[in-house]
């Protein structure tokens, strides 16, 4: 264990070996000791994501001590995800882990936990271990994901095959893919396979957990209205943060690079950069989309391909949408202000038009 403070948590994009603290001084703590301890627990919210979707921006916007502290990508959750991928049992590990992560930082304050994107394979376990919590999965559209990968350095792009393998292990999507999909001709096509496998995983996750506890949002909604969307997330995660506090904090963080706080940056600049990358690599992107259209996207379920804002909702057990809920919230995700409490019951993805 190692003592950290709000400033370190706020400044750090990742709570792992990159933390600017003397990690060599950390003291080991036995799992059994944590499991038997009577630890206080704060209200918990979950921020899951599929990478390259402005999740660090959203995490920073939700970090408003003393009302809420956001833990960004704790290494211990990556290790649980690695264990699950390797087929190791997690018995006796999840509860003690959350016992430590969910400790309150301030009296009455909440803790929002943002796992690494590869920890989607333990998301259901994390939600089950915190039964009063709600979660959000932040994702992005295919073209946005491809462009984001093109902006990354070669060492990041080199990890894509491993990420594909991890995502495919968590679903049965591989069973529907043709042989050609397992041999993408370039890194952009490979990124498209990763995107598809992750979206399939998210669809399975929401179906298993239920949208009364887990919702999905596209990054474009966040970037199109950072202040308004962050407020909707605050309400959904049931964080007791005053509206004016959220507005003031969002105005500050939305004007900075989420991973390099000293650099001025905002949604407009992000959009300009994305457009420049799209123009520069227009041929590569067009070829990748053609390959994905032929070998990958046809194997996806309609909802996994579609913008989450177009998903419909249904009552549990009957498979039919609640028309009253759909009239107020046809997406089953976020519309307007505070989510309709009467529409929270068992909303699950249903079929919808192809390709959004």
Going residue by residue through the chain, which has 356 residues, state the pLDDT in tens, using 9 for 90 and above: 667 777 788 888 888 778 777 777 777 878 888 888 889 999 999 999 999 999 999 999 999 999 999 999 999 999 999 999 999 999 999 999 999 999 999 999 999 999 999 999 999 999 999 999 999 999 999 999 999 999 999 999 999 999 999 999 999 999 999 999 999 999 999 999 999 999 999 999 999 999 899 999 999 999 999 999 999 999 999 999 999 999 999 999 999 988 888 888 888 888 899 999 999 999 999 999 999 999 999 999 999 998 886 654 322 223 333 323 222 333 334 333 333 333 322 222 323 222 22
Closest by alpha carbon to 80, among 118, 54, 27? 118
**Please, is 311 exposed, middle or buried when counting C-beta atoms within 10 Å of its C-beta (0-12, 13-18, 19+)?**
buried
48: left (phi over 0), alpha (psi -120 to 50) or beta: beta
Is residue 222 within 8 Å of residue 142, measured between CB atoms?
no
pLDDT for the residue numbered 311 = 58
User: Which two three-digit tokens encode residue 228?
Assistant: 């308004």
Q: Please provide the DSSP assignment of 35-98 as one string.
A: HHS------EEEEEE-SSSSHHHHHHHH-BTTTEEEEE--HHHHHHHHHHHTT---TTTHHHHH
Rg (CA), the chain: 20
pLDDT for the residue numbered 212 = 92
Query: From CA 117, how far away is CA 268, in angstroms rounded?
Result: 25
Query: From CA 46, how far away is CA 257, in angstroms rounded?
Result: 22
pLDDT for the residue numbered 19 = 73
* Enclosing H/E stretch for 218: strand 214-218
- 3-state class (DSSP) for residue 334: coil
**Longest Cα–Cα distance in the chain:** 59
Closest by alpha carbon to 255, among 245, 242, 268? 268
- Omega into 117 within 30° of 0, i.e. cis? no
pLDDT for the residue numbered 340 = 36
pLDDT for the residue numbered 1 = 65
Q: Tokens 């491809």 appear where?
A: 146
Query: From CA 50, how far away is CA 53, in angstroms rounded?
Result: 7
All domains in the chain, ordered by first residue? 6-140+199-261+307-343 (3.40.50)
- Omega into 66 within 30° of 0, i.e. cis? yes
């Amino acid at each position: 264990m190692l003592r950290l403070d709000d400033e370190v948590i706020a400044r750090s994009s990742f709570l792992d070996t990159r933390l600017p603290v003397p990690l060599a001084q950390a003291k080991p703590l036995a799992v059994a000791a944590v499991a038997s301890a009577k630890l206080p627990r704060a209200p918990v919210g979950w921020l899951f994501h599929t990478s390259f979707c402005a999740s660090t921006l959203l995490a920073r916007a939700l970090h408003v001590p003393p009302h809420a502290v956001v833990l960004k990508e704790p290494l211990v959750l990556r290790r649980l995800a690695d264990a699950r991928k390797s087929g190791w049992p997690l018995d006796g590990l999840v509860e003690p882990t959350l016992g430590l992560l969910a400790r309150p930082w301030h009296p009455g304050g909440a803790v929002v936990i943002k796992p690494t994107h590869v920890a989607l394979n333990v998301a259901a376990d994390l939600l089950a271990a915190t039964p009063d919590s709600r979660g959000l999965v932040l994702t992005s559209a295919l073209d946005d994901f491809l462009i984001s990968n093109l902006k990354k350095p070669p060492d990041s792009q080199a990890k894509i095959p491993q990420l594909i393998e991890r995502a495919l292990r968590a679903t049965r999507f591989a069973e529907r893919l043709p042989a050609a999909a397992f041999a993408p001709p370039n890194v952009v096509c490979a990124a498209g396979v990763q995107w598809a496998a992750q979206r399939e995983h998210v669809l399975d996750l929401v179906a298993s957990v239920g949208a009364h506890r887990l919702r999905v949002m596209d990054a474009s909604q966040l970037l199109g209205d950072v202040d308004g969307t962050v407020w909707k997330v605050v309400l959904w995660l049931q964080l007791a943060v005053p509206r004016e506090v959220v507005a003031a904090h969002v105005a500050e963080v939305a004007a900075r690079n989420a991973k390099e706080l000293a650099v001025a940056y905002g949604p407009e600049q992000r959009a300009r950069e994305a457009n420049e990358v799209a123009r520069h690599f227009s041929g590569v992107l067009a070829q990748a989309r053609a390959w994905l259209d032929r070998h990958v996207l046809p194997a996806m379920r309609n909802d996994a391909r579609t913008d989450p804002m177009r998903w419909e909702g249904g009552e549990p057990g009957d498979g039919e949408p609640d028309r009253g809920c759909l009239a107020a919230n046809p997406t089953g995700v976020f519309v307007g202000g505070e989510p309709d409490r009467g529409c929270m019951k068992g909303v699950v993805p249903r079929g919808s038009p192809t390709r959004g």
